[in-house]
Each structure stands twice: as structure tokens, then as C-alpha cells.
Chains A and B, each alone.
Chain A
Amino acid sequence: MQLEALRTPADATEGKETFVLNLGPQHPATHGVLRVKLTMDGEYITRAEPVCGYIHRMHEKMGENRTYAQFLPNPSRIDYLSAMHYTHAFVGVVERAAGIEVPPRAEYVRVITSELNRISSHLVWFGAFLLDLGGFTPLLYAFDDREKILDLLEGITGARLTYCYYRFGGLYNDVDEAFITGTREFVTYMRPRLDMYRQLVTGNVILRKRLEGIGPISAEMCRRYGATGPVVRGSGVAHDVRKVQPYSVYPELDFDVAVFPECDCMARYLVRMEEMAQSLRIIEQALQRLPEGPFVAAKVPRVIKLPPGDYYYAVEAARGRFAVRVVSDGKEIPYRVKLRTPSFANLTLFEEASQGMMLPDALALMGSLDLVIPDIDR
């Protein structure tokens, strides 16, 4: 009985001369140490079995044997491309549990930096996705723009990638005038750049042919696998944690959820391109409304002990819903830290979605899922 379950489905390979192709752990298209065991019939994929765990670092277990403050730098290492969102979720769950009131200035700065981080993450995806499709040049343009964001964030956080900027009850330090003017300049700089990408890349006939109708992922499939973020929004479902479970000051800001109903790679591509424009809108509004005041709550206990209970906080990270669940038994160290990472859920759908596809199309599909491998393995 157990042996039966271990065997590959007979109907998938029966009567065909198949071979196993190991895509990864070292492969240019997986952008990390992900391994996909492909059963191939020529260039057609009959079965794609993702094998993860090559970069497993026990973040959840680490959370269980250190204090909340000691675990604070960890979330930013889970998904190194959207470190702000991940820290936000962890800080958020502790604040919710301990009942810490965050001053509005801190919340606005959190939104600004989170959205900047979202743009920089999407820019990396944009470059890497086109690299997967064989276009090398957009990568360097995207990194050129991303550099500006990294410089801005480096100015206030001191880090370029794994920011640990949010603290329980506020921020590590206040934003200065240079950051605010720099961010304003960046917004005016980035809008024409997005238009340029729209003209040069989105309108390219080869790109459209490669993405339109390729890699269909239905809304029903997203629901079954728990896919979130641009993947589910590319299937016509307006699921955005910022709207459906509002947190921070997002309800006060006016922005649209980018939704495209086509369910193909192009839809997911367009969702992310549109999200960058929306993030710019959010940043602009947040900068206008940025209130004066303290950047950290006055009364934050030195040693954080959460009251016994089960706490949950979700954010919309660049790749989808990232949620932290903390179970506390009243000690300094949490009883359990569960990290719900979007890439893992998005990857699980790859096996079903890639069935019967050709190798290049499957890689376009994989690129459109925007997988960050440390985020899968955590």
C-alpha cells in the first residue's frame, strides 16, 4: 500500500519513453537552490516534482528558542527581497499581542519603506523573469532603478538588503529630510521609467507571445493550494491583505488592487507592473500625510512577555500573504512560531500547473510565480 503511493502515477508515464531531468539544485532558471525533478517526454513535462529543503535554516525552530527581540533580525532573512514586510509581520504580531500602541508617524514610515521594498522586490523579479525568457538587458535597467531604492533605504536603516528597521512599538530611528526628499524624487523618477518598461518590454511581440495564454492557473487552483499575492490576483481574485485584512495605515490610503482575470503568465506580469505604479501612489500619499511626532512608542517593556495565547498577523509581502503565528505560554520565549510564507504555497501549485507543458513554458511559469528559494525553505 505504501509502495503504491510512492510510485509515480502510472498513467502519466505509461507507454511513453520518459527520462528524468534534474532542474537544479544549481540551474540558472531556479535562481537559488531549488530542485525540480522533471519527468520528461521529449521536451514535454509529464511530471514536475519540486524538491525543497536545500536551504532550510530552521527559522521556525529558532523562533522557539530565543526571545522576541532576539528573533527580530530573522524574518528579514527569510525572504531577503522583501525584508521590510517580513519584519513588519513579526513586529505586528508582537505589538498586537502585547497591546503596544504604535505612533502614527512610525506607521506611515513603515508603509513608505514597505512599499519602496515592494517596488525593489518587483524590480528584481522583473529583471530575473526577463532573464528567464532570454532577455538580458532589462535586468540591468531594473537593477539600476533598484539601486536608487537601496541607497534610500541604506540611508535610514544602514542595510541594503536585510533591513531590521522596525522595532516593537515603532522604528529603529526617525527618517530624515534627505530620505523624504529623496523618496519624493524617486517617485517622480520612477513613473516615466515604468512607462518606458511598458513601451519597451510589455509591448514586445515576442514577450507577449511567450506569456499570453501560457501557464494557466485558475482561481480555483489558487484556492486549493493557498496561492496568494500576484499569482492569485493574476487569476482575477482581488485578494490583497492590505484590503481584506487591513493593517497599519493602509485603510487611510487610496490605492487600487491590481487584478487581471486572464490567469496566464501575462496577467501575473501585468499585476506586478501595475503594483509598482500603485506602490508609487501609496508612497506619494503617505509622504504627504506623514505626521510629526515620536517614531517609537513611549512605553515598550524592555523584556517582552506576551500573555498566553495564540496570535496571528498577516501582511501583504511582495510575493503574497506572509503571516506570523505566535503561540505564547507567557514566557520570554514563544512556545511556537509558525511562518506562513507565500513562495511555498505558490510553489506547490507548480506541479499541477506545469503538467504537459514544454520546458521553456514551464520555466516562464516558474518565473511568473516569483519564487524566492529561502522563502520556500525558511
Chain B
Amino acid sequence: MTIPEPYRLFFYLFSTMAFVGLNAAYLVWVERKGAARFQRRPGPTEVGPAGLLQPIADALKLLSKQVLVPPEADRTLFRLAPVMVMAPALMCLATLPYSERLGARDLNLGLVLVFAFGSINVMAVMLGGWASRNKYAIISAARIVSQNVAYEIPMLLTVITMLMITGTMNLREIVEQQAGGFWGGFWNWNICKLTANPLMPVTFVIFFICMLAETNRAPFDMAEAESELVAGAFTEYAGMGFGVFFMAEYANILVGCSLATILFFGGWQSPIGMLPSGHLWFLVKLYALIFTVVWVRWTFPRTQFYRLLNLSWKLLIPLALFILVLTSAMLKLF
């Protein structure tokens, strides 16, 4: 069934936004429940069954609050920043294929687009921090820029490694390459392609660490480091201004984990060839990765900022470069 063109566009727009909105809202719930389980407490229970209506109540509360703009702040940039942080995440989701037939746009340069828009997010947080004329926010903005510059490089290096193996930037094709037919299975996924690169799991770990750093998640939550910078770049944001930043954090995690699923875990391919593939597998893998992100956040303390940069420049970048060289050598050999 094909939907005629203008409606198709609206349909894509609507479903992508609904997907992001629901995920952002309910990942907060997952985070809170997950954190509660790690901390041996029940978490939200009051609003709705098992606290399921809590995100909606929170959103309503944030919406009903006044968006205060500090008098010293740059009004335009201050208001623009939350929009700029949310929009790229939505754009990225438009390129992601969830199953063979489910995906908004099939772009040949999908991977590049995701990274291009992913970088805007950093600029938006920086602008938000800078525009709010708060010393904590400015320190946070400075941190976030150097952190993201540092982690973009190893992340892109791993992505180049993946590109050399897959030979395409089209995300759908990358997933289709990882199919194995009836006898196929998880050993066809990129993470198991040890013939192309014996250090494939390490490549994934680098990608995952960089993704945590890019999305400002603990233990790399330097920008929002509560005990150091109060709320970092978001200190001056009230009401939905803060709410959008908060949602964007989860939207970015969603994009990052989706990308990891596509690049390393075979997207919608089922782990056992005999079982049918489909978008459900995609979601299973995606949420397993998201759970790992939550898990990491509630088990590790924060690193120091300079150690974070050292980790990137002194360990991850050389390692990623080494893997890149190794992969090209392996590809030439076999």
C-alpha cells in the first residue's frame, strides 16, 4: 500500500514526532524506574498504574510553567537553543530504517546526515549555555564543546571503519548486508565480522563510549554535572525550555542507540535465521542498548573533565586509528 505523496510526508512527520515524543517521555519513566530498581526503591508509583502517567503529569507541569528569560540573557539565542537541540534529533530519526519497509526516507548518505545533524546538537547546547549569561552555564558550554570535539573524532573513525567494511552509507543497505538467510543469524552481524576486523567488539565499545560522551550521559555528564555546575548549560532554563532539553537528551540517546543497532547489531535482522526478522527485533536491540545506557548511569560516578579528554585523545583516538589501519589491511588481504 502506498500513500499519495503529500499525505505520505505528513504521515512520516507525524509518526516520527510521535515516536520521538513517546520515547522521550517514556524513557524518562524507564530511567526513573530503572534507577529506582538499582537503588532498591519503588520509583514512581502514584500517577497511573506503576507510575505510567508520571511523564504526562511532568510534561503538563512543565508546560504550565512560565518560560523565564533572565534579563541579562540574549533573548533570541536563549529561545532558539531548545529548538535547535530538538530539531536535529528529529531529522536524524527520519533516516533510520526500522524494518525493510518501515523508515521515513531512504537516503544514500544516511550515515553522513545523522552525524551532520548530530553535531548541531552540541552547538545548540553551547548557545543555550552562552546565551543564559550564567557563569556555571558558560563553564558548561565550554566543557561541552571540547568534550564533543574530542569524542566526535574517535566516533567518526569507527564509523569510517564500518564504512570500509560495508561499502555504503545507506543505512538500509548496511542492515541488509547483515542478513544471513535461513541459516544466518547473529554471526552475520557486523559485531561478529571478525574476518573484516578482529577487533570488532572493541570497535563497538569505542562507538558506545563515544555515544555516551556525545549524548552527555553519565559517567561523562560533564555539561550537566549537578554537584559541580548546578545544572550546567540548563541552569537558567525554566518550564518547557528545560523540558525540551531534557527530551532532546533522550531523543539523542534514541538516535545513538538506533545507529549502534544498525551498524553493529544487524538492525531488524533476527538473531536466529529461522525466526522471522522484523521491526520488533530492532526495538528489542534498541531498548537493550538503552537499558545499558541507563545501567551505566546509575552505577558509575562521574569522571573528571580532563581525564575524559585524556581518555579520548590518548586512548580512544589512537585505538580507533589502529583499528582503521588494521581493517584496511585486512580488507586488502582477504
A interface residues (Cβ-Cβ under 8 A, vs B): 19, 21, 27-29, 42-43, 130-137, 140-141, 144, 204, 206-207, 209-210, 358-361, 363
What is the CA–CA distance of A144 and B39 in the complex, to the nearest angstrom? 10
Contact A361 B39 (CB under 8 A): no
What is the CA–CA distance of A153 and B42 in the complex, to the nearest angstrom? 26
What is the CA–CA distance of A55 and B299 in the complex, to the nearest angstrom? 34
A-B contact pairs, 19 of them (CB 8 A): A21-B135, A28-B230, A29-B227, A29-B228, A131-B227, A133-B302, A135-B299, A136-B298, A137-B38, A140-B40, A207-B301, A209-B303, A209-B307, A210-B304, A359-B139, A359-B229, A360-B225, A360-B304, A363-B227
What is the CA–CA distance of A28 and B230 in the complex, to the nearest angstrom? 6
A37 to chain B, nearest CB (A): 12
Q: How large is the interface on B (under 10, 10 to 19, 20 to 34, 35 or more residues)?
A: 20 to 34
Contact B303 A210 (CB under 8 A): yes
Contact B305 A137 (CB under 8 A): no
What is the CA–CA distance of A228 and B5 in the complex, to the nearest angstrom? 76
Residues of chain B contacted by A358 (CB below 8 angstroms)? 304-306
Contact B303 A136 (CB under 8 A): no
Query: Would you list the 7 A-B pairs with minimal beta carbon distance, nearest first?
Result: A134-B302, A135-B301, A140-B39, A133-B301, A29-B227, A132-B227, A134-B301
A144 to chain B, nearest CB (A): 6
Cβ of B214 under 8 Å from chain A: no
Cβ of B101 under 8 Å from chain A: no
With contact pairs A27-B230, A134-B219, A363-B228 given, residues A204 and B301 touching in the complex (Cβ less than 8 Å): yes
Residue with the highest number of chain B CB atoms closer than 10 Å, among A21, A29, A42, A135 = A135
Known: A21-B136, A137-B35, A361-B304. 10 other contacts (CB 8 A): A28-B227, A29-B228, A135-B301, A137-B39, A204-B300, A206-B301, A209-B303, A210-B301, A210-B303, A358-B305
Residues of chain A contacted by B299 (CB below 8 angstroms)? 135, 137
CB < 8 Å neighbour of A206 from B142, B219, B306: B219
Residues of chain A contacted by B228 (CB below 8 angstroms)? 29, 359-360, 363
What is the CA–CA distance of A132 and B300 in the complex, to the nearest angstrom? 12
What is the CA–CA distance of A210 and B301 in the complex, to the nearest angstrom? 9
With contact pairs A137-B299, A141-B39, A204-B301 given, residues A43 and B139 touching in the complex (Cβ less than 8 Å): yes
Among residues of A, the one whose C-beta sits closest to the C-beta of B135 is: A21
Which residues between 102 and 142 of chain B lie within 8 Å of chain A, taking CB atoms?
135-136, 139, 142
Residue with the highest number of chain A CB atoms closer than 10 Å, among B39, B40, B41, B218 = B39
Contact A136 B35 (CB under 8 A): yes
Cβ of B236 under 8 Å from chain A: no
Residues of chain B contacted by A140 (CB below 8 angstroms)? 39-41
Residues of chain B contacted by A43 (CB below 8 angstroms)? 139, 142-143, 305
What is the CA–CA distance of A19 and B298 in the complex, to the nearest angstrom? 34
Residues of chain A contacted by B41 (CB below 8 angstroms)? 140
Cβ of B58 under 8 Å from chain A: no
Which residues between 221 and 237 of chain B lie within 8 Å of chain A, taking CB atoms?
221, 225-230
B65 to chain A, nearest CB (A): 20
B interface residues (Cβ-Cβ under 8 A, vs A): 35, 38-41, 135-136, 139, 142-143, 218-219, 221, 225-230, 298-307
Residues of chain A contacted by B139 (CB below 8 angstroms)? 21, 43, 359
With contact pairs A43-B305, A134-B219, A134-B302 given, residues A19 and B135 touching in the complex (Cβ less than 8 Å): yes
What is the CA–CA distance of A206 and B227 in the complex, to the nearest angstrom? 16
Residues of chain A contacted by B143 (CB below 8 angstroms)? 43
Residues of chain A contacted by B39 (CB below 8 angstroms)? 136-137, 140-141
Residues of chain A contacted by B305 (CB below 8 angstroms)? 43, 358, 360
Residues of chain A contacted by B227 (CB below 8 angstroms)? 28-29, 131-134, 363
With contact pairs A43-B305, A358-B306 given, residues A134 and B40 touching in the complex (Cβ less than 8 Å): no
Among residues of A, the one whose C-beta sits closest to the C-beta of B225 is: A134
Residues of chain B contacted by A210 (CB below 8 angstroms)? 301-304, 307
Contact B298 A137 (CB under 8 A): yes
Contact A141 B221 (CB under 8 A): no
B299 to chain A, nearest CB (A): 6
Residues of chain A contacted by B306 (CB below 8 angstroms)? 358
Residues of chain B contacted by A131 (CB below 8 angstroms)? 227
Residues of chain A contacted by B35 (CB below 8 angstroms)? 136-137
B307 to chain A, nearest CB (A): 6
Residues of chain A contacted by B301 (CB below 8 angstroms)? 130, 133-135, 204, 206-207, 210
Residues of chain B contacted by A42 (CB below 8 angstroms)? 142
Among residues of B, the one whose C-beta sits closest to the C-beta of A205 is: B300
With contact pairs A21-B135, A359-B228 given, residues A135 and B38 touching in the complex (Cβ less than 8 Å): no
What is the CA–CA distance of A150 and B81 in the complex, to the nearest angstrom? 47
A367 to chain B, nearest CB (A): 8
What is the CA–CA distance of A132 and B225 in the complex, to the nearest angstrom? 9
Contact B221 A134 (CB under 8 A): yes
A299 to chain B, nearest CB (A): 50
B107 to chain A, nearest CB (A): 38
Contact B40 A141 (CB under 8 A): yes
Residues of chain B contacted by A133 (CB below 8 angstroms)? 227, 301-302
Residues of chain A contacted by B218 (CB below 8 angstroms)? 134
B215 to chain A, nearest CB (A): 16
Contact B303 A206 (CB under 8 A): yes
What is the CA–CA distance of A84 and B1 in the complex, to the nearest angstrom? 76
What is the CA–CA distance of A138 and B221 in the complex, to the nearest angstrom? 18
Among residues of B, the one whose C-beta sits closest to the C-beta of A132 is: B227
What is the CA–CA distance of A7 and B190 in the complex, to the nearest angstrom? 63
Residues of chain B contacted by A144 (CB below 8 angstroms)? 40
Contact A134 B226 (CB under 8 A): yes
B297 to chain A, nearest CB (A): 8
What is the CA–CA distance of A19 and B229 in the complex, to the nearest angstrom? 15
CB < 8 Å neighbour of A135 from B142, B229, B302: B302
Among residues of B, the one whose C-beta sits closest to the C-beta of A200 is: B299
Among residues of A, the one whose C-beta sits closest to the C-beta of B226 is: A28
Among residues of B, the one whose C-beta sits closest to the C-beta of A201 is: B301
A191 to chain B, nearest CB (A): 19
